[in-house]
Amino acid sequence: MTDGHATKLSVNLNAVAMLRNRRDLPWPSVTGLGRIALAAGAHGLTVHPRPDERHIRRSDVPELRALIDDEFPRAEFNIEGFPSEDFLALVEAAEPEQATLVPDDPAQATSDHGWDFEKHAEFLADAVGRLKRSGVRVSLFADPDCDARAIDFAKQTGADRLELYTGPYGACHDAPGRTADEIDRLVKTADAALAAGMDLNAGHDLTVDNLPPLLARIPQIREVSIGHGLTADALEHGMAGAVRRFLRACGHSD
């Protein structure tokens, strides 16, 4: 892929918000880290506000919208979540470029499966129609092993994209023998979605190590949203600089 068509990176800020929420203090700043990510070249920001606000708070959403509008007008805002009335109203107010609908129960620790498109066909068609009438592109979180029938139901909802759930692929970090099978499952789902005329996103537990082999097999993926692995990388690669800054604050010279 040439750079013009390369997969876009949307930085998921949930992990930053979770760190911030450990204290009643404004740092690390979700908006501030979003600014750094966009200034470094990320194509967009993703948030997955959950009903208990354990990481992203409702109040983060308008701040991030304003950051993009005021400072990075070419960037995209992606809001993920279960399409409850509260969520749909939040999305309509924020007018993100994209909403990703995820079948998460509020008690779930993190996203761990895609939609049953046949079972929830009508519910999803209503939610997708409502968001698209507000001008929001809609992506649906999909299991890595959807068959053509499932994809057909997904397509009928009117959604634009499917987001391939890459959690089981990410879990191969300690079971490399399973990697080829997991990629094959994702490729089959991707082929069926592309044949049905749907575009593709991907996300969950992606890292700098597992991303290149995935994109080599499915170069049509338009966007990856990455939070946990990217935040871990930011800590690892930023730790030395932070220690040097604090040593200076303790009075040590370089």
Ligand X SMILES: CC(=O)[C@@H](O)[C@H](O)COP(=O)(O)O
Enumerate binding residues for ligand X (CB under 6 A).
12, 14, 48, 80, 102, 110-111, 141, 203-204, 227
Q: Least distance (Å) from ligand X to the CB of residue 110?
A: 3
Residue 190 binds which of ligand LD2JLWAY, ligand X, none (CB < 5-8 A, kind-dependent): none
Tell me if 205 contacts ligand LD2JLWAY by CB under 6 A.
Answer: yes
* Interacting residues of 78 by C-beta distance below 8 A, sequence separation 6+: 10, 44, 45, 46, 47, 96, 97, 98, 99, 100, 139, 223, 225
Q: Which residue is nearest to ligand LD2JLWAY (CB)?
A: 203
Reduced to 3 states (helix: H, G, I; strand: E, B; else coil), residue 79 is strand
110 in a known ligand binding site: yes
Whichever of 31 and 152 has its CB closer to ligand LD2JLWAY, that residue is 31
CB 227 within 8 A of CB 12: yes
Contact between 203 and ligand LD2JLWAY per CB under 6 A: yes
Q: Residue 251: exposed, middle, or buried by beta-carbon count in 10 A (0-12, 13-18, 19+)?
A: exposed
The CA-based dihedral angle spanning residues 85, 86, 92, 97, taken in that order and rounded to the nearest 10 degrees? -100
The minimum distance between CB 226 and ligand LD2JLWAY, in angstroms, equals 4
Q: By C-alpha distance, which of 28, 35, 27, 20 is closest to 67?
A: 35
> Between residue 141 and residue 180, which ones bind ligand LD2JLWAY under the rule CB under 6 A?
163
Write down the least CB distance from residue 229 to ligand LD2JLWAY, Å. Answer: 5
3-state secondary structure of 248: helix
The item of ligand X, ligand LD2JLWAY, none sharing an interface with residue 226, based on CB under 5 to 8 Å by kind, is: ligand LD2JLWAY
**124-145 burial, b if ≥16 CB within 10 A, otherwise e?**
beebbeebbeeebbbbbbbbbe
> Closest approach of Cβ 217 to ligand LD2JLWAY, in Å?
18
Catalytic residue numbers?
48, 80, 204
Question: Binding site residues, as ranges?
Answer: 12, 23, 50, 55, 110, 205, 227-228
Question: Binding site residues for 3-amino-2-oxopropyl phosphate, as ranges?
Answer: 12, 23, 205, 227-228
